[in-house]
């Protein structure tokens, strides 16, 4: 009975460790820091609405953003572009209530290709200036 319980615990531990290891390797694949500032007020130019460009390491048709900080606005929206500055997704909006949650969005305008480079463009809600978002981005 003790051997069976020990074996069951060992198997559960190995499965759990494999699950965590698999999640960590996927979550860290091509993830970069995101630090963007956008405005949507007439006459005000967005300071730095572009993420860094990063190479896609898989062929999954989603990108991921996790905002850990959002200031000067209730939300921030993102669209994905390829290295030729072609839009590859529609808009993903992240509300301030969704901070620290990883949000995914499909490449729903064009197919994203493994090995190609992508970036996201940040947009502020209408009437907001210098909305600042910090977090992570994974193409």
- SS3 of the chain: helix, strand, coil, percent, to 5: 20, 40, 40
What is the distance between the alpha carbons of residues 118 and 52, in angstroms, rounded to a whole number? 8
**pLDDT tens-digit profile of 105-115?**
999 999 999 99
Residues 20 and 65 in one domain: no
Residues across the chain: 139
Residues 87 and 39 in one domain: yes
Q: How many domains does the chain have?
A: 2
pTM of the model: 0.78
**pLDDT tens-digit profile of 33-77?**
999 999 999 999 999 999 999 999 999 999 999 999 999 999 999
Q: Which domain holds residue 14?
A: 1-30
Residues 56 and 6 in one domain: no
Residues 117 and 68 in one domain: yes
Residues 10 and 58 in one domain: no
Distances (CA, A) of 113 to 92, 107, 138: 19, 10, 14
């Amino acid at each position: 009975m003790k051997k069976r319980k020990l074996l069951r615990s060992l198997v559960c531990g190995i499965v759990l460790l494999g699950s965590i290891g698999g999640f960590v390797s996927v979550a860290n694949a091509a993830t970069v820091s995101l630090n963007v500032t956008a405005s949507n007020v007439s006459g005000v130019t967005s300071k730095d609405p572009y993420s860094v460009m990063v190479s896609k390491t898989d062929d999954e048709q989603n990108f991921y953003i996790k905002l850990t900080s959002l200031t000067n606005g209730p939300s921030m929206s993102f669209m994905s572009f390829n290295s030729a500055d072609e839009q590859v997704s529609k808009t993903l909006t992240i509300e301030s209530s969704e901070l620290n949650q990883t949000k995914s969005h499909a490449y729903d305008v064009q197919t994203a290709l493994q090995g190609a480079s992508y970036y996201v463009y940040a947009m502020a809600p209408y009437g907001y200036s210098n909305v600042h978002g910090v977090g992570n981005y994974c193409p």
